[in-house]
Amino acid sequence: MSEHYYELIIKPKQHYDTFLDLLGTLTNNAIEEADGSIIARSEDDLCDVEFGINEFAKALNVQCETVLTKKENIDWIKQYQESVKSIEIGKFFIRPSWDESKDDKINIIIDPALSFGSGHHETTSSCIEAISEYVKKDDTVLDVGTGSGILAIAASKLGCKVDICDTDEVCINDTKSNYELNNTKFENSWIGSANNAKEKYDVVIANIVADVLVFIASDLKKCLNNDGILVISGILDKHIDKVLRKFQDLEQLKLIHKNEWVTVVFKK
């Protein structure tokens, strides 16, 4: 073990999830989320990663504070593991592999790494609540923008036939390993979005961002069977009206509002 390691703290004023996803593509090391900050640690110098984050912020015209420090190398992996807490949501108990299981819940093991989605973020937990309430055994499910695969795994654990897609190949690879960790499987996967789907589904889930949801709204609806359920999330409350307008031809079943984030459940 090296005597020192590098810690990079990133505090974006906007587009938090986008910066989180970007950091995942720039480093293979563990990523921690804490109070609006994203933290990466590595024994390798992270100056190139910091440069990439700052250039990306400039391109987006988004204010983003970064702090890179060199620290004495303690057991930060253990510290990171201790910072990742298990969480109970609906029918599910989401935990890292180093925590004990809970017998009265459906256990999902997620070791946070490259991709977003450990169950703690408001959008993820709201989607899992919706899955607990509206998804049933033998449903066909498409998870659009699967990320860590946590939502797809939840549907699989309920006995659903699940397909996944994501525009990021890293996410698809992470999802495969997370499925293996949970002794579950998906049916089909592809790099891309809902427009590449070859069939219709009983349930479509898309936890992305508002602008993308608006852009792919017609593709999401085309993927749905009649009477199908659509769960969309990743929506800041200030953008909810423009998103709802794109889905006004569907029946709104539920709107889940957590802090500044909104998840909506529709029926076709």
Domains of the chain and CATH, by start = 4-81 (3.30.70.930), 84-267 (3.40.50.150)
Amino acid at residue number 171: C
Specify the pLDDT at position 114. 38
pLDDT-flagged residues of the chain (< 70): 1, 74-83, 112-119
Q: Say which residues have a Cβ less than 8 Å from residue 241's Cβ, sequence separation at least 6.
A: none
Amino acid at residue number 161: K
Closest C-alpha to 171, from 198, 142, 191: 191
Over residues 27-82, the pLDDT tens digits come to 877 788 888 899 998 888 999 999 999 999 999 999 999 999 998 776 666 666 66
Whole-angstrom Cα distance, residue 109 to residue 209?
25
Rounded (5°) CA angle 251-152-23: 105
3-state secondary structure of 257: strand
Whole-angstrom Cα distance, residue 95 to residue 86?
4
Specify the pLDDT at position 112. 61
Helix axes 150-157, 169-181, angle to 10 degrees: 40
Specify the pLDDT at position 111. 73
What pTM was estimated for this model as a whole?
A: 0.69
Specify the pLDDT at position 145. 92
For strands 4-12 and 64-72, give the pairing.
antiparallel
Asked whether 74 and 61 are in contact (CB, 8 A), the reply is no
Specify the pLDDT at position 113. 53
Asked whether 168 and 208 are in contact (CB, 8 A), the reply is no
